[in-house]
Structure 1
Amino acid sequence: MPPAALSRLLLPLLGLAAATVADCPSSTWVQFQDSCYIFLEEAIQVQSIEDVRNQCTGQGADMLSIHNEEENAFIMETLKKRWKGPDNVLLGMFYDTDDASFKWFDNSNMTYDKWAEQEDGEDLVDTCGFLHTKTGEWRKRDCEGSFVEGTLCKAAIPYDKKYLSDNYILISTLVIASTVILTVLGAIIWFLYKRNSDSGFTTVFSTSSQSPYNDDCILVLEDENEYAV
């Protein structure tokens, strides 16, 4: 099989290997590390933070939680460039009076914070956290009666999907490597086949074009013909 034909045969396989696995539900979402994010532009008057949270749970997600400086910076940059979001984004946290501390709605650990320096009021029960997208700082504000210009939701990528995605990358690499090797071997085999085929044709042609008698035989035959006359 010619190398070109072999390449055409393997191209669909190569294209399959090069395809990427979409970890997020759709292109509307943005992936960062092990999570997917979506910004819902619908403005809402907050009577309770649950009003905002219901928007996210309706998407199969929860309100935003942030766990490191890289994620905080990612949110800021993406809100500016892609989502064109507001200056303040509501964080998915609540004040737990039992522990006298803020906690994330998605039950993840509070391993990181970036609170701006401000005095806390006596009662933090109805206090919400907001990410100020221009400075990256978090600020405490009263939830009730707040007006939000959009909601940022976050969903973790399921473990099984991440596991399959990692395996897919490995398999894709192996398929691409195998495809390249097969293409090279096919080209070498085709080259050797053509070379041997051409050599065989030349040998046959050269042999068949030669006279069955050499010069000495021709001279002897001529002498015999003279005596015969």
Structure 2
Amino acid sequence: MSKCHDSSSEKGHEGRRWRWTSWKPDCPSSTWVQFQDSCYIFLQEAIKVESIEDVRNQCTDHGADMISIHNEEENAFILDTLKKQWKGPDDILLGMFFDTDDSSFKWFDKSNMTFDKWTDQEDGEDLVDTCAFLHTKTGEWKKGNCEVSSVEGTLCKAAIPYEKKYLSDNHILISALVIASTVILTVLGAIIWFLYKRNLDAGFTTVFSTATQSPYNDDCVLVVAEENEYAVQFD
């Protein structure tokens, strides 16, 4: 029965054809692969480890975390990419741990455990120091001891940043143009207001000076005085 299940799983995954892109601007570099809202990288170097934290450090050094899987499509995508591009081993260590506080498995990246692909295993097994592995031939998950001496490659995952996830290049360009236009209009408005105030103040000063100016200059006053004196003499 188990053999039948494995065969159908392989056949089902073989029938899928995923469109993966070796690199897109949303991911850090050309060594990453994008799928949905995340970027993935398989570090093929075999390393010696003392704990799962040593494996996790391989991912955090690249700004990512160990792989978490949240639906059947993502699980199948990983299998397909491991087979066609990454050429990974038979078993990949998943980024989860067993939390003894509430007796449940949790992802290291703190995302919700919304999906699982566990194989049928006996109930009541001791889960302390238990890690999870993805079997790359069937796509099923299995539990195993965390005390491994080495791993043949590490699968890491990083979420696409918000601004790249929700804002396309066109939206970013439009936003930049709107901001630039606003700044230009603000500067022009300030210049126009300054020129208006300067002309207004200059006009007011001219009117004030004209209003306070005497209607006669000194020469006119002198002539009038002489004429008055001459008129008195004749009288």
Q: TM-score when scaled to structure 2?
A: 0.61
SS of alignment partner, residue 80 of structure 2: helix
Larger Rg: 2
C-alpha distance after superposition, 1:175-210 (max 9, x if no partner): xxxxxxxxxxxxxxxxxxxxxxxxxxxxxxxxxxxx
Aligned position for 2:198: none
Q: Is the 8 A contact 2:24 2:34 kept in 1?
A: no
Alpha-carbon separation, structure 2, partners of 1:136 and 1:170: 42
1:165 shift after superposition: 2.3
Output the amino acid matched with 1:145: V
Aligned counterpart, 2:61: 58
Map 1:125-136 to 2 at 5 A: 125-136=128-139
Identity %: 82
Matched, 1:92 2:101: no
Count, aligned residues: 152
Q: Residue 103 of structure 1 aligns to which amino acid in structure 2?
A: K
Q: Is the 8 A contact 1:47 1:143 kept in 2?
A: no
Q: Which residue, 136, 144, 159 being the options, matches 2:147?
A: 144
Does the 8 Å contact 2:97/2:106 carry over to 1?
Answer: yes
2:31 match: 28
Q: 1:76 is aligned with what amino acid?
A: L
Equivalent residue number for residue 83 of structure 2: 80
Gap change, CA 1:170 and 1:136, over 3 Å in 2: farther
Residue 47 of structure 1 deviates from its aligned partner by 1.6
Counterparts of 1:142 and 1:69, CA distance in 2: 25
Equivalent residue letter for 1:40:
L
User: Which ranges in structure 2 are unaligned for 5 or more consecutive residues?
Assistant: 1-22, 175-235
Rounded to whole Å, the distance in 1 between the matches of 2:83 and 2:123 is 29
Shift in Å, 1:27: 1.0
- TM-score of the superposition, structure 1-length normalised? 0.62
Aligned counterparts of 1:132 and 1:89: Cα–Cα separation in 2? 7
Whole-angstrom distance in 2 between the partners of 1:122 and 1:64: 24
**2:157 equivalent in structure 1:** 154
Partner residue, 1:48: 51
Q: CA RMSD in A?
A: 2.0
Q: Secondary structure at the match of 1:71?
A: helix
**Structure-2 separation of matches of 1:151 and 1:78:** 14
